[in-house]
Amino acid sequence: MVVRLTFSIRDYTVICGIAILGLGLLPFVNIETCSGYLLMARFTYSPQDPKACQPVMFDASESYDPDGFIYSYAWNFGDGNTTIVSVPVIVHRFSDPGNYNVTLTIRDAACYLSLTNSTVKTIHVTPPAAPPVAAFSWTPADPQVGESVMFDASNSTPNGGDIVLYAWDFDDGVNQVEFEPYVTHVYQTFGNYTVVLNVTDSEGESSIAVNVIRVIELPVADFSFEPAAPSVCTEVTFDASVSLPKGGHIINYEWNFGDGTPVKFGMVAAHRFLIAGEYNVSLMVTDSEGLLDMKTITLKILYHIADLNEDGTVDILDLAIFAISFGSFPSYERWNSKADLDGNGKVNILDGVVIARSYNMCVDPFDC
């Protein structure tokens, strides 16, 4: 059986309208751009000479799409890593040096996502920069509190660049950045300080050096003595208990009395001077850190009370002076205050006893 369909001009118009409307409803279809000649992939990267393991930023923002909407950015970095993202910027690291062909493929939303365009750039990745080697010394080797310390980082060595910054941490709350390798610093308290130097080169590479510096403070030697005005053969007691340790404790006291006698040791020492005159008495203290300090005074030793003529010996001449003054008082013409040995305001037999008992003394130290 043969069926014949007949259509009028009006029917053809309706059918064509429906077909055109259907084509217009297809999503994202742009018949004019499906040939792909207007879609263009472009990208830049930074830095231009990346190093291995350094972050590299790839930017495809200059890629062109006539309808202004790029559906995806597919990256092939040439090192086995690929990724597809919807934004134009991505960061990648190349783990090894070499030449890498980086391919960008962009895809448009039109034509059922079938419209793409690609571009390739070769990126040369260099070996990672070797960091500089930080090093420093200082003088003096064991600075004292309040002493200026010179730090010298001139032995630091760059690797492929120039050292441009020296950052110091002195471990006492002070940090300092310098453009030159030399710097001075003063410590206000004794102790051990961990000093850190961080050097940075012109390629942005850095390294550190660490050293422990010992800041010392010497002990303070000091002493007192009594009596305040000692005379020949009088026992003088020297007391160094007022000496001060700094950072340790005093372990040794050494006395030199300046009269040729052997040195003595101990915090307290007693000594008799056999001849009147001035003596340089010295105390040297040593602390548990091996640090020393010395104090020296000039001590005046007076003549013996019975040496009335101050010739260094109690002899017949002193007895003669006593005899002339015997029985006198301050108002007497024969009065001699030196002969009043006990200071009772008169020269009497008690003063004579002192002279007699001191006669020819100090010839032998055991006589004192």
For the chain, 368 residues long, give each residue's pLDDT as a single digit of tens: 444 444 454 444 444 444 444 444 444 444 444 554 578 999 999 999 898 989 999 999 999 887 778 889 999 999 999 999 999 999 999 999 999 999 999 998 766 667 889 999 999 999 887 889 999 999 999 999 999 999 999 999 998 789 999 999 999 999 999 999 999 999 999 899 999 999 999 988 899 999 999 999 999 999 999 999 998 888 999 999 999 998 779 999 999 999 999 999 999 999 999 888 999 999 999 998 889 999 999 999 988 888 887 777 788 888 888 888 888 889 888 888 888 888 888 988 888 888 887 777 654 444 44
Q: Which CATH architecture has domain 224-301?
A: Sandwich (2.60)
Residue 17: its pLDDT value, please? 43
Cα(232)–Cα(238) distance, integer angstroms:
16
pTM: 0.51
Q: What angle do CA 162, 166, 168 make, to 5 degrees?
A: 160
Contacting residues for 248 by C-beta, under 8 A, at least 6 apart: 219, 287, 288, 289, 291
Q: In CATH, what number does 137-215 get?
A: 2.60.40.10
pLDDT of res. 37 = 52
Q: Which amino acid, 232?
A: V
71-82 b/e with 16+ CB inside 10 Å = b?
bebbbbbbbeee
Q: Are 138 and 184 in contact (CB under 8 A)?
A: no
Neighbours of 343 (CB within 10 A): 9
Same CATH topology for 1-128 and 224-301?
yes
Q: What is the pLDDT of residue 112?
A: 62
In this predicted structure, what is the pLDDT of residue 342? 82
Q: Give me the pLDDT at residue 304, please.
A: 80
Name the one residue in this structure whose structure tokens are 């961080």: 198
For domain 1-128, give the CATH number: 2.60.40.10
Instruction: Let me know: does 368 contact 233? Beta carbons within 8 Å.
Output: yes
In the chain, where the domains are located: 1-128, 137-215, 224-301, 316-367
Residue 187 contacts residue 212 (beta carbons within 8 Å): no
Specify the CATH number for 316-367; select among 1.20.59.20, 1.10.1330.10, 1.10.10.10, 3.20.20.60. 1.10.1330.10
Give the sign of the dihedral formed by CA 294, CA 298, CA 303, CA 304.
negative
